[in-house]
Amino acid sequence: MTTLKDVARASGVSVMTVSNVINGVPRVGPATRERVLGAIADLGYEVNLTARRLRSGTSGTVALVVPRADHPYFGELADAFTSVLRATGRHLVIEQSGASKEGELTALSQARLQMYDGVLLSAVGLQYADVDRVQADLPLVLLGEKPMPPQFDQIQLGNVEGAQLATAHLLDRGARSVALVGGLTGPTDGGMQDQRTEGWRAAHRAAGRTPDDRLILNPPALEMAASRQTIRDAVSGGLQLDAVFAITDQAAIGVVAGLRDVGLRVPDDVQVVGFDNLAIGAHLWPELTTVDPSNHWLVTEAVRLLERRMAGEHGDAEHLVTPVSLVVRGSTR
């Protein structure tokens, strides 16, 4: 049987360092952590931990891996998962990946080492080949837009349909120049921004209009301050618009503030629609029209899928897309 000493010898570190990696102690450097995790995998120590988990029973703990826990969208998602899992007698642990491939792979490795019962992973940095290396005995549900290996359950947001709903709503209300804040014009990876850009384009085509890429604005971050500055600069630079679809509610909130900065009123001068249906949107002035991505549906279905895998079911993976709807409020007329 492989021991901690074997892993320490193979990775060139002390037994204490190996223990720190296994227990997720943050002071271990990333290069050392990766070397130890590699030795654990090569020597089969991970398999021994899995066997111990099976002998001792389940931990009652599920990990939710998100890019940032302080982001309002992921904060609301974590709160919903906590409530649903608590009803099943399980405890939720939140891991932050920093939206990087390395962070997500580390979270998956830690989930196995910590003997969590399952993982809900919001995949941002991982690519198809990365997830394909994940061992099949880890109960895992993927949350995200990127195409992933078919053997894993996955739930995607209805990004294209939601963006099309938002843009069509603005066009139907007389908008002639619908700017897209957070869209993409260059090389894409099939992710959220790409899909919501496609929805914006599709709505224009369905209305018999040609999408104008000059109306696509891409702030350095999909957050309030960056979006506020981006829309302010665009309008001050002469961009003509009478509506904005911002691909997140945080971006939309920044857009409303930026329009106010340059003397434009919402919705009288410029109509605005967001995406996410964050709770704060109903308490702004004006209240924010937004796309509701059905987070409660997503959470309920994700837990259902994960419970199946944690129970040992090995049926075909399910690939689901959330239903979306438009919540019309005061930022459109």
Domain of residue 115, residue span = 61-157+295-323
Same domain for 143 and 173: no
Domain-embedded: residue 117: yes
Residue 301 lies in a domain: yes
* Residue pair 42/59 in contact by the 8 Å Cβ criterion: no
Instruction: Judge if 220 and 237 occupy the same domain.
Output: yes
The answer as to whether 217 is a domain residue is yes
Indicate the number of domains in the chain: 3
Could you give the count of Cα atoms lying within 13 Å of 147 in the half-sphere of its Cβ? 4
Q: Are 121 and 143 in contact (CB under 8 A)?
A: yes
- Asked if residue 328 belongs to a domain, the reply is no
Same domain membership, residue 116 and residue 20: no
Residues of the chain below pLDDT 70: 22-26, 46-57, 132-133, 135-136
> φ, ψ for residue 34 (rounded to 5)?
-65, -35
What pLDDT was estimated at residue 25? 59
185 and 235 co-located in one domain: yes
149 and 164: one domain? no
Are 193 and 264 contained in the same domain?
A: yes
pLDDT given for residue 201 in this prediction:
98
**Alpha carbon distances (Å) from 14 to 27, 38, 68:** 14, 15, 32
Q: Is residue 330 part of a domain?
A: no
Q: Are residues 67 and 117 in the same domain?
A: yes
Q: Are residues 177 and 288 in the same domain?
A: yes
Q: Is residue 299 one of the residues assigned to a domain?
A: yes
Please indicate, yes or no, whether residues 169 and 286 belong to a single structural domain of this protein. Answer: yes
- Same domain for 215 and 268? yes
Q: Contact at 8 Å (CB) between 273 and 332?
A: yes
Same domain, 166 and 276: yes
CATH number of the domain enclosing 16: 1.10.260.40
> Is 89 found in the same domain as 12?
no
Is residue 250 included in any domain, yes or no? yes
| Structural domain contains residue 331 | no
CATH number of the domain within which 135 lies: 3.40.50.2300
| Rg for the chain, CA atoms, rounded | 23
